[in-house]
Structure 1
Amino acid sequence: MNHETKPDQSTPAKQSTKTSALTYINVLLVGAYLGFLFVKSEVARWDRIHDMFLFREAYMYLIIGTAIVVAMLSMFIIKRLGITTLEGQPIQYKPKPFHSGVVIGGMLFGAGWAITGACPGPIYAQIGAGEWMALCTLVGAMLGMFSYAGLKSKLPH
């Protein structure tokens, strides 16, 4: 009698999670295009951000509102068509619970945005546009990120 064990044919083979170079190139191109849009639409300009926080003009609020509508439509389409990640996993939105840390983090984020004129995405657009002081913003964002990671267990969640 041959007692060899055969692999279970009902279990699908584990998909490779290795990301191809073409994927990285596509992400880089989309990021460069987004940075170009940030610069041309002036959403990465300190004066625009400053005027938004002082309620001097509605330009940035219209941009943010448009981004929210586009994100909502995109999530609807993703859900409706059952679009998956590169690894084949379903894309799902999982709301995070509201707590005091969200308020504290939001206030810190807003203060940094108001002072520097950039949230995370536009930092790279500012650097790409030659605004070298944005390197200080990038360093500050990185310090904030690593500080959060180090203090996460002590912060409200």
Structure 2
Amino acid sequence: MKYLKFILTGIFFGIVLVKSEAVSWYRIFEMFRFESFHMYGIIGSAVITGIILVQIAKRKKIKNIEGVPIHPTPKDKSITRYLLGGLLFGLGWALAGACPGPMYILVGTGAFSMLIVIIAATLGTFVYGLIKNKLPH
């Protein structure tokens, strides 16, 4: 029961993404070909919402589910790191037709081929965990 509100929020978020066509492979394809503003509008509104919510969390000292105050940690400002990471993420997104969140939503809509993508993403995360100490961070 403790996590019910989070499960319901996730279900609601999934419905919103499906209805807004944010999980549509065709919309993602249009975005990467610069043929439509639809996905850029969704991503832009998500970024603005995230900025506002982080500022509210900082000012109101909002706590996480465990009761610990939320303190975003400063990130390394390496351009190379974010450029390479962004390129890899974008390449994976373009090849799979989905970023990590919508992968699960697409399985829920019946696109069971996304299970292959989820397995590959999980394997990639596992391999990164194994070699991350050897990478230049």
Instruction: Give the TM-score taking structure 2 as reference length.
Output: 0.92
Query: What is the number of equivalent residue pairs in this alignment?
Result: 136
Q: State the structure with bigger RCO (CA 8 A, min sep 6), 1 or 2.
A: 1
Going from structure 1 to structure 2, the CA distance change for 1:134 and 1:140 (only over 3 Å counts) comes to same
**Structural RMSD (CA):** 1.3
Deviation per residue, 1:77-119 (Å, 9 max, x gap): 1122211122222111222103333322221111010111111
Q: Does 2:4 match 1:25?
A: yes
Whole-Å separation in 1 of the counterparts to 2:65 and 2:38: 35
- The answer for unaligned runs of 5 or more in structure 2 is none
Partner of 1:140: 120
Question: Which residue, out of 67, 81, 85, partners 2:60?
Answer: 81
Q: Structure 1 runs of 4+ off > 6 angstroms?
A: none
Checking the alignment, whether the CA contact within 8 Å between 1:82 and 1:90 is kept in structure 2 is yes
Checking the alignment, whether the CA contact within 8 Å between 1:116 and 1:137 is kept in structure 2 is yes
More helix per residue: 2
Q: Percent identity?
A: 43
Checking the alignment, whether the CA contact within 8 Å between 1:101 and 1:155 is kept in structure 2 is no
Cα deviation for residue 74 of structure 1 reads 0.8
Whole-Å separation in 2 of the counterparts to 1:33 and 1:73: 21
Cα deviation for residue 156 of structure 1 reads 1.9
Structure of higher CA gyration radius? 1
- The answer for unaligned runs of 5 or more in structure 1 is 1-21
